[in-house]
Structure 1
Amino acid sequence: MRSPTLARRERHDLCDLALVLGEDAPTLCGEWTAKELVAHLLVREHSPLGALGIAVETFARLTDRAMARLGRRDFAVLVEQLREPGLTPYALWPVEVLGNTLEYLVHHEDLRRAQTDWQPRENTPADDDAIWTAIRIGGRALVRPAGVPVRIRRADTGKEVTLRGGAEPVTIIGSPTEVTLFLFGRRQLHDVTFEGPTEKVAALRRAALGF
């Protein structure tokens, strides 16, 4: 039997933490509470029309309505519904790995790092490799708003990947988790550094990264 993916384990950890913190706990997703974050994830996986508004701003009202409907339900029920993907494409191993590894990593950290006592996570080497593989693929779209060449470098191994080509790139250096969080527009980070021309580093740090 195949071991649970990192995406599935992050899903479970997010659910466990949400129940501990409660539905009104803050997150790093703007004004969203833990309940609204859980509702967002459920809409993404179980409401095709609602999920359309996540990707296309024109349809954002559909997402808001779907989340509002879920928001009227009991929080513990919503969390237990989220705990397993159920009958959705996200239950399939390849889709789960490609579509949910970064989604649940980032949103788990959104919940963790919104709390005053958060600490940087410690991953296994295998999990760090899985995160690095995922951000190598997904990071190319994430850095487009910056308009500058971008590389990422693992602080532990020194491995580098070019996400956006060009002369005199900015290099983001950190653990796979921290690099990922920066590329998704989060700023509650631990030990992330930058190399490159000052003006390009500034442009990258100002950019509205992520989705």
Structure 2
Amino acid sequence: MSTFAKRERLLLADLLETAGPEAPTLCGEWTARDLAAHVVVRERRADAAGGILIKALADRLERVRAEFAAKPYEELIQLIRTGPPRMSPFSLKQVDEASNTVEFYVHTEDVRRAAKDWTPRELDPVFQDALWSRLERMARLLGRRAPVGLVLRRPDGRTAVANRGAPVVTVTGEPSELLLFAFGRQDVADVVLDGDPDAVTKAHTTPLGI
């Protein structure tokens, strides 16, 4: 049975393949090749992937990522498609679904929305709910650097508090768009911000995310 993580993994691989190695992404200066290398290292090199969260390991992570980025692009795409090796925790269905659904969705949009002619993607309500459940758990982590209070609100009124500061900015949108906003993709997220104008500007421009 396919899972959300599996679906997003294959979609990401297809998009990276179609875009080509030098295509831009929303990940700063990273090209599609750089992003592909990041995805592969994250689930295949646990000895280096810790650098994503631990600053002391960041240099090692970047060295290993650069080594993978030097591999043939087609090889990187195939490694993403086939998934992690059996000894990796990501090879467990439950871990893959819990850890990669958001990761692959965000990076899929990093590739899609970096293209000039991108169009909105229609997501089914079940997937939106799955993204929302993860966003609720991650909201405080993703919004911790916000210099203002930050409330994420779905169109149906359900909310998640990303930062308890003041003044408060309310960000309204579908869970998928709120997730992109909270991961620092504010410029491309289809959301509406309400609050004091200065606070809204800060919420829109402050680097959010992990």
| Shared fold per TM-score greater than 0.5 | yes
Shift of 1:151: 1.3
Number of residue pairs the alignment of both structures matches:
208
Residue 56 of structure 2: aligned partner = 58
| Alignment partners' CA distance in 1, 2:79 and 2:174 | 32
Residue 72 of structure 1: aligned partner = 70
Tell whether the 8 Å contact from 2:169 to 2:200 is kept in structure 1 after alignment.
Answer: yes
Residue 147 of structure 2: aligned partner = 147
Deviates more, 1:73-82 or 1:167-176: 167-176
Runs of at least 5 residues in structure 2 that lack an aligned partner in the other structure? none
Shift of 1:189: 2.2
Tell whether the 8 Å contact from 2:131 to 2:176 is kept in structure 1 after alignment.
Answer: yes
| Alignment partners' CA distance in 1, 2:39 and 2:78 | 12
| Alignment partners' CA distance in 2, 1:172 and 1:39 | 32
Residue 34 of structure 1: aligned partner = 32
Shift of 1:168: 5.2
Shift of 1:190: 4.8
Shift of 1:125: 0.6
Tell whether the 8 Å contact from 1:113 to 1:188 is kept in structure 2 after alignment.
Answer: no
Tell whether the 8 Å contact from 1:7 to 1:104 is kept in structure 2 after alignment.
Answer: yes
| Alignment partners' CA distance in 1, 2:97 and 2:37 | 21
**Cα deviations by residue, 1:77-117 (Å, 9 ceiling, x for unpaired):** 11111112332211223322221121111111001111111
| Alignment partners' CA distance in 1, 2:7 and 2:201 | 35
Tell whether the 8 Å contact from 1:85 to 1:91 is kept in structure 2 after alignment.
Answer: yes
| Alignment partners' CA distance in 2, 1:151 and 1:188 | 18
Shift of 1:206: 2.6
Q: Residue 145 of structure 2 aligns to a residue in which SS? A: helix
| Alignment partners' CA distance in 2, 1:119 and 1:194 | 21
Does residue 207 of structure 1 match 2:206?
Answer: yes
Task: Give the residue type in structure 2 aligned to 1:118.
Answer: W
Deviates more, 1:163-172 or 1:55-64: 163-172
| Alignment partners' CA distance in 1, 2:14 and 2:203 | 34
User: Given the two structures, how large is their TM-score scaled by the length of structure 2?
Assistant: 0.92
Tell whether the 8 Å contact from 1:150 to 1:163 is kept in structure 2 after alignment.
Answer: yes
Deviates more, 1:104-113 or 1:57-66: 57-66
Q: Residue 151 of structure 1 aligns to a residue in which SS? A: strand
Residue 164 of structure 1: aligned partner = 163
Percentage of identical aligned residues: 39
